[in-house]
Structure 1
Amino acid sequence: MTTPLATVGSIKVKFGVLVVVSVLVAAVTGALGVGADVPFALALPVTVALALGVTQLLAVGMTSPLREMTDAARRMARGDYSARVTDDSSDEVGELARAFNQMSAELATVDREQRELVATVSHELRTPLAGLTAVLENLADGVVPSDEVHLEAAVGQARRLSALVTDLLDLSRVDAGVTALGLAELSVGELLDEVVADLVPTGRGVSFHVDADPALTVRADRARLRQLLTNLLDNAVRHSPERGTVRVTAAPAGDRWDLEVADSGPGVAPADRERAFERFGTLGSDPGAAGGGGTGLGLAIARWVAGLHGGTVRFVDPPAGTTGAVVRADLPLDPPPRPAAVPVPVAVPTPEAATMSAPAPAPTPTAVPPAASPVIDPLFGRHWPDVPGGRRDVVLVAAGVGVLAGVLLPYRDPGLAMFLVLAAAGASVWWAARHRRDPFTVTCMVLGALCCLPVVLLDAPWIGVLCVFAGVASMIIGVTRGTRIPEYVVAGIAWPLSAIRGLPWLGRSVRGIVGDGKAPRIAVTVAWSVLGLLVFGVLFASADAVVAGWADSVLPDLTIQSFVFRVFVAVFVGCATLGAAYLALNPPDVSAVPGRTARPAARRFEWLVPVLVVDAVVAVFVAAQAAVLFGGHDYVQRTTGLTYAEYVHQGFGQLTVATLLTLLVVWAASRRVGTDPRDVLAMRLSLGLLCALTLVVVVSALHRMHLYQQAYGFTQARLVVDVFEGWLGLVVLAVAVAGLVRWGTWVPRFAFVTGVVGLLGIAAINPDAWIARHNIERYVDTGKVDTAYLAGLSDDAVPALLSLPEPLRTEALGDRRPADDDWLEWNLGRSRAQDDLADRLAGG
C-alpha cells in the first residue's frame, strides 16, 4: 500500500504534514464534540482514536523501506542477495532504498560470477587433467618409456593447465564486463590436430575424422580458438556412443570459414538447441543429449569465444539419413580489431539472437520486497507479537456494533437498547477469541453475559455500572487466560494498548475490505456515497425549508448536533469493541509478567518471626472481641465511654483493611518458604493460625456492620461493603485450603470468579428494593426512617415504598411520575414502577 505522501520529496516535510494533519483532525474533532455537548470522557478517546487512525493512514510506507532494509541486510548476511526493498518514495528514504537495491543487485551479480567461475574452472580443468593423468599413468605403468619426448608431453599438459587457469581468470574479467584478444596468424588444421591429440589419451573409445583444408589460415587468438575447439570436440566425444566417430570439418567460405563438429549420438531436439548454450542449461531428462549430463558451460564458453572473434555457434540439422548432433561455428578469416577493454553488454538471449556471441549473464530476478515488521513491534517485544494476516470480518462486525450503538444508545435511558449493544459486543469478542473453547474463557464469557442482565432488569444505575465493569473485566481476563492478579492487571492495560498494537493488523484488515485495486472496492464506494448524501443533504436541508421539512418527516430526531453525538458514540463503542476483539484474537503473553517465583529465605526466622508477630497482634484483637462478647454493652460503655452502636461503627473500615493486609502477609510469607519439610510445617502452622484468626476478624466485621445497619439504617454502600467483607472471608478460607494442599495457582481465578458471582448476587436480590424493604422493616420496629434517602433510590424501590403510610410514602416517592419510554428503553424495574405509579394515580 503506497503512502499518501509518497510524492513529497522530503522526509522533514512529510513529518510536518503528518503532525499538522493529526493536530488539525484532533482539533476539529474536539470542537465538534464540544458543540454537540459530547461528554469529555467520551470525546477524549474518540479524538485520540481518530488522530491515531489519520496518523496511521498518512504514515503508511514512510519508514517501511528502512525496516525492509534491515531484514534484507540480515538475509544478505546469510548469502541471500535476492532481497529488494520498496523504493517508490520520492524522499531521502526512497533514494536510500534505490541505492540499496542497486547495491544488492551488484552484490548478487558478483556472487553469481564467483559461483559461475568455480563451476567454469572445474569444467575447464577436467580435460587437461584427464590428459595429464593418462600420460603419467602410462609412464608409471611402463606402457611408454620415460624419455624426453613423453616427459615433455607431461610438462606440456601442465603448462596448458597453467595457461588455462590464466584464461579462466580472463573469463572472470569478461563476466565483469571487459576482455581483450591477442590476434595472430595460425593454421586451423594444425590447431585441430593438437586438440585431437590432447583428447585421444583420455581413454574414451571414440575415433576422430578430421577434414580440414590444409591451406586454411586465419587470424585469431590462438588460446581462445583452441578453447573453442576443445569444448566443441569434448562435447561431441562425451555424447557419442562407445566406438563412435566424431567428424570435424573446417573449410573457407568467402571472407569467413566454417567449422562443423558432428557426433553419432542421439542428437538435440530443435526446441532444446538454444538451451544447450546457456550456462547450467539442461536439455531435459535425456543424458545423452548434447549439452546434457553436465552444466552446459562448455558450449556457453564456446559461444563466448566465437562472439569475441565476431562469429557465431549454433546447432544445425544433421544431413538427411543420419543422426547425431551437428554444431557449426561461423567465424571470420580476419576478425575486426577490438580495443584492449571492450564492455560486454548484459542481456537476456532471445530466439532472434540465437546466433549472437557470448551468452550474457542471466539477470538477477526481481525479488518481492520482504515484509517489513511494523515499527511498533519492538515496543511490545516477544510477549505480544503481531498476528499474521488480517480479519476483515472482525473489523466489519466491530463497525456494525459501533453503528448499532450510535443508533440505539444516545438520548435513551439504560434498558433494552444498551443490553442489545452489550450483547452484540460480547458476542463479537467471543466469536473472535482464539481460545474461545477454553473452560476458563467460557466461564468468564458466561459471567460477562450475566453481567449484562441488570441493565435491562434493574433501574438502579449504580449496580448496572458495577455489573458492566465486572462483565468487561470477565471478558478481558477470560480471553487472556491469566492466572495471577498481576496478569489480570496487565490484561486490563492491554485493552487500551490494543489500539496501538493492532494498528498494523487493522491496516491489513482494511486493505482486505477495500480491495487491492483489482477487486470491486465496495466499501470505498459505500463510504463515498454516504459522505455525499450527508454533505449535500445537510447543505440543501439548511438552504431550503421544504427540503428540511421532508428530512424532518423522515428523520424527525436527527439534527446536526445529535448526528455528531451519535457519531462519537458509534466511534467509541466500535473502537472499544474492535480493541477487545483484537485482544481476544491475539492475546498477549500475560504469563511473562515478573513475580511468579521468589528466592526462598536463607533462614527460617526471616519470614516466620514477622508472621508470628502478626499472629500475636490479631490474637489480641480476637481476645478483645471475646471480652466484648461476654461483657456486653455495659462493658463497652464502662471501658470506652462509647455506646455500642458507636463502638461497632468505629472500626469497620480498619477491619476491612486488616483483612486485605492479612492476605498480603500470607502471600509474601509463602513466597519465602523453602522446600524443607520443617519450613513447610512451620508455614502451615503459622499462616494457618493467621487465616483462622482473620476469619474471626471477618465475622466480627460482618457482625459490626449488621448492628450498625440495625441502628442507622440500610444503604447501598453498606450493602456492597458487607458483601465485599464476606467475599474477603471466602478468599481467606481458599488461601487456607491452598496452604494445606500446597497448590495455590487456582486461588486468583477462584477469587475473581467468586467476586463476580458475589456482585451478581447483589444484583439478583434487587438491591434498591431490598434496601427499601429493610428500612421499612426498621421503621416498623423503631419508628425511624430516612425518607430523603429513600427518595434517592431508583424505581426498583417503588413497589416497596408504596407500602409506607402517608405522608412518608409521598416523601419517599418524591416527584416520581410514570415515564414515557419507548420500547428500546424498556427496563423491568422501571416498567413495574410505572405500572404501580399509574395505579396509584388512578386510585387517587
Structure 2
Amino acid sequence: MPADAAAWHAWQAHQHQQRQRAAAQAAAARPSWTRRLRPAPPAPVRAATLVAALVAGLAFALLLGDGMGPGLALAALPAMAAAFTAARAAHRKARPWTLAWVAGCAALLVIPALRDSAWPSTLAILCTALLGALALHGSRTWPGVLLSPLGFADAAVSGIGWAWSGLHAVGRGSKERWLPVAKAAAVAVGLLLLFGTLFSSADAAFADLLGDLMPDISLVDGPLRIVLFLFGALVALTAARAAAAPLRWDRIEVAPGTPRSRIEWALPLILLNLLFAGFNAVQLAVLFGGYDKVLKSTHLTYAEYARQGFWQLLWATLLTLAVIALALRWAPRGKPGDRRFVRVVLGVLCALTLVVVASALRRMDLYVDAYGLTQLRVSVAAMELWLGLVIVLIVAAGVFGARWLPRAVVGSAAGAVLVFGLLSPDGMVAERNVARFEETGKIDLAYFQSLSADAVPALDRLPEPKRSCALRGINDELSAAGDTPWYATSLGEYRAREILRERPVTAPYEVCSRLGSFGSRIEY
C-alpha cells in the first residue's frame, strides 16, 4: 500500500475515534431517552456515496425541470444508490421488511410515469417517503412507524456536515484514488460532446433522436435547475445519512395504560356493540324490505337517503378505530380469561363495524347512480375500503398476535395507494359517467373540464359535439403546455395527445357553451 494511502486511512480512523469520543461526551449530557434514540456516529462517508449524491443532484436538475413522469423514477435511482453504499459501509444488512419497503417505493414511483392526474401521483410520492423512512430506519413499533419520517429532518441537517467532512477527507487523501476517475470522467464527457456534435450535424435523424433524448436546458430556467440540483443532492445525502446511522425510534417506550376491571372496561363497549347491532339490523331490514318503502316513510329522495348517511358512517368507522385503540390500552389483561374476553368484545365490535363499512359503500353506490362519479366520491369510497381492510387486520392481529400490525397497516396503505393510481381515478370517473350517459342520456360536461388527460380515452367515446365539448378543457391545457420531453410525459398524457392528434376538438365555443360545458358545477 502506498505510504500516502496508509496515512490517509490512519487519519480517517483517528478522526472517526475523535467523533465517537465527542458524541459520547455529548450523549452523556443529553436526557436518557435521547441517548437511547441517538445511534453511534456514522462511519466516514465514502467517495461512492458522494458521487451518487452528485449524480442525484444532476438527475433532479436535468429530469425534473419540465415536470414529473418517468424522470422522477430515474432521478430517484442515484439517491437509492447513495443510501445503499452508505448502508454497506455501516455494515447494515437488508432484512425482508426492508426489501419489501424498497420494492414498494419502486412500485409507487411508477405511478407518476403512468398517470397525468396530480392527486394519485402526489399520494404515491408521499407514501414513497413514508416507506423510505421505514426502510432506512428499520422501524417496527407504532412509535417507530409514526415518527420515522421525522428522522429525515435530522438526517438532512447532520448529513450536510457529514458530507463536508467526507469531502475534506477525500481532498486530503491520495490523489491516486480519485484523480484518475475525475480525469476519465472529463475525457468521457469531452468525447461524447465532440462526437455527438459531429454525428448530429452529419445526420438529421440522429440529431432529432438525440434532441428528444437529451434535456432541453436554457438560461431562463437556470435558477430552477440549480435549486433542483441542490434539492436532489440533499435528498441523496439525507437518505445516505439515515442509512448510515438511523435514529432508533423503536427504542421509545410507551407505558401501557392502567388496566380496568371487566365491568368498567366492558360495559361501554357492550352498549356500543348493541347500538351497532341495532343500526345494522335496520340496514338489513332496508335491504330486504326495499328502498321504496323507506323512502316513502322518511319522505326523502333516492339520492338524499344515500347522501344523508355516507359521511356519518365514514366518521363512525374512523371513530371506531380510535375506540379500539383506547380500549386496547385500558383492557384487562391479568389472566388468560381476561384476554379472551377482550378478544370477543372487540372482535364483535370489529365485525359490526365491517357491516357499517358495507352500508356506507352501498350508500355511495346509490348516490353515484343518481348523480354520477366524481373525484371526491371515488377518493372517499377508496378510503372507506381501506379502513375496512384495517379493521380486518386488527381482527387478524387479535387472533395471531399484533407484533406485525404497525407494518401491515402501512403496507396496506401503500398497496391501496398503488392500486388507486394503477386504476386511474380520473379514467374511472370519465368511464362511469360516459356509461351513465349511454344508459340515461344525462351528462355534466362542465365537470370534465377539470379532469386530467387520463380521462381522454373514455371521453373519446362520446358522440359529437359532446365529445369535443367534454375534451375542450383538457385539450386547451395540453396545447398550452406544448410538447413536453419524454422524461416528463406520463403514459396518460401520451395517449391523450395521440387521440387528440388523430381526432381533434372541432365543436366551436358557442356550441359547447349552449351544452353547459362552461357552467358552474354543484358538488352534491
TM-score per shorter chain, which class? 0.7 to 0.9
Higher strand share: 1
Amino acid at match of 2:55: G
Per-residue deviation, 1:558: 3.0
Task: Provide the TM-score with structure 1 as the length reference.
Answer: 0.49
Q: Which residue of 1 aligns with 2:360?
A: 701
Amino acid at match of 2:452: S
Per-residue deviation, 1:436: 5.1
Aligned length: 446
Which of 43, 60, 75 aligns to 1:421? It is 75
Per-residue deviation, 1:724: 1.6
Distance in structure 2 (CA, Å) of the matches to 1:476 and 1:842: 46
Which of 375, 396, 401 aligns to 2:51? It is 396
Q: Does 1:773 align with 2:431?
A: yes
Per-residue deviation, 1:503: 5.0
Amino acid at match of 1:710: D
> Larger RCO: Structure 1 or Structure 2 (Cα < 8 Å, ≥ 6 residues apart)?
2
Per-residue deviation, 1:451: 0.5
Q: Does 1:811 align with 2:466?
A: no
Q: Which residue of 1 aligns with 2:147?
A: 490
Q: Which residue of 2 aligns with 1:839?
A: 502
Give the fraction of aligned pairs with identical amino acids, expressed as a percent: 33
Q: Which residue of 1 aligns with 2:15?
A: none
Per-residue deviation, 1:678: 2.3
Which of 17, 20, 23 aligns to 1:373? It is 23
Which of 385, 407, 413 aligns to 1:726? It is 385
Q: Does 1:499 align with 2:499?
A: no
Task: Provide the TM-score with structure 2 as the length reference.
Answer: 0.78
Q: Which residue of 2 aligns with 1:579?
A: 238
Distance in structure 1 (CA, Å) of the matches to 2:383 and 2:118: 19
Mapped contact 2:104–2:128 kept (Cα < 8 A): yes
Q: Which residue of 1 aligns with 2:204?
A: none
Residues 509-554 of structure 1: CA deviation (Å, up to 9, x unaligned):
22223226x758979xx9xxx9xxxxxxxxxxxxxxxxxxxxxxxx
Residues 743-786 of structure 1: CA deviation (Å, up to 9, x unaligned):
11112211211221111112222222222111100111222112
Structure 1, unpaired ranges of 5+: 1-367, 531-554
SS in 2 for 1:674: coil
Mapped contact 1:514–1:521 kept (Cα < 8 A): no
Mapped contact 1:390–1:505 kept (Cα < 8 A): yes
Q: Which residue of 1 aligns with 2:168?
A: 511
Mapped contact 2:61–2:225 kept (Cα < 8 A): yes
Distance in structure 2 (CA, Å) of the matches to 1:376 and 1:644: 67
Q: Which residue of 2 aligns with 1:680?
A: 339
Q: Which residue of 2 aligns with 1:445?
A: 102
SS in 2 for 1:814: helix
Distance in structure 2 (CA, Å) of the matches to 1:806 and 1:593: 63
Q: Which residue of 1 aligns with 2:61?
A: 406
**Is the deviation greater in 370-379 or in 794-803?**
370-379
Amino acid at match of 1:731: V
Mapped contact 1:655–1:698 kept (Cα < 8 A): yes
SS in 1 for 2:22: coil
Q: Which residue of 1 aligns with 2:36?
A: 382
Change (3 A) 1:388 1:798: closer
Deviation beyond 6 Å, 4+ runs, structure 1: 520-523
Distance in structure 2 (CA, Å) of the matches to 1:778 and 1:369: 68
Change (3 A) 1:697 1:418: same
Distance in structure 2 (CA, Å) of the matches to 1:563 and 1:419: 22
Amino acid at match of 1:407: L
Mapped contact 2:108–2:418 kept (Cα < 8 A): yes
Which of 462, 487, 493 aligns to 1:824? It is 487
Amino acid at match of 2:392: L
Mapped contact 1:451–1:468 kept (Cα < 8 A): yes
Q: Does 1:646 align with 2:304?
A: yes
Change (3 A) 1:519 1:812: same
SS in 2 for 1:651: helix
SS in 2 for 1:496: helix
Which structure is larger by alpha-carbon Rg, 1 or 2?
A: 1
Q: Which residue of 2 aligns with 1:763?
A: 421
Change (3 A) 1:495 1:627: same
SS in 1 for 2:484: coil
Change (3 A) 1:696 1:430: farther
Per-residue deviation, 1:618: 1.7
Structure 2, unpaired ranges of 5+: 1-17, 187-214, 508-524
Amino acid at match of 1:415: G
Per-residue deviation, 1:835: 1.3
Per-residue deviation, 1:639: 4.0
Distance in structure 2 (CA, Å) of the matches to 1:806 and 1:793: 19
Mapped contact 2:394–2:405 kept (Cα < 8 A): yes
Amino acid at match of 2:460: L
Change (3 A) 1:369 1:655: closer
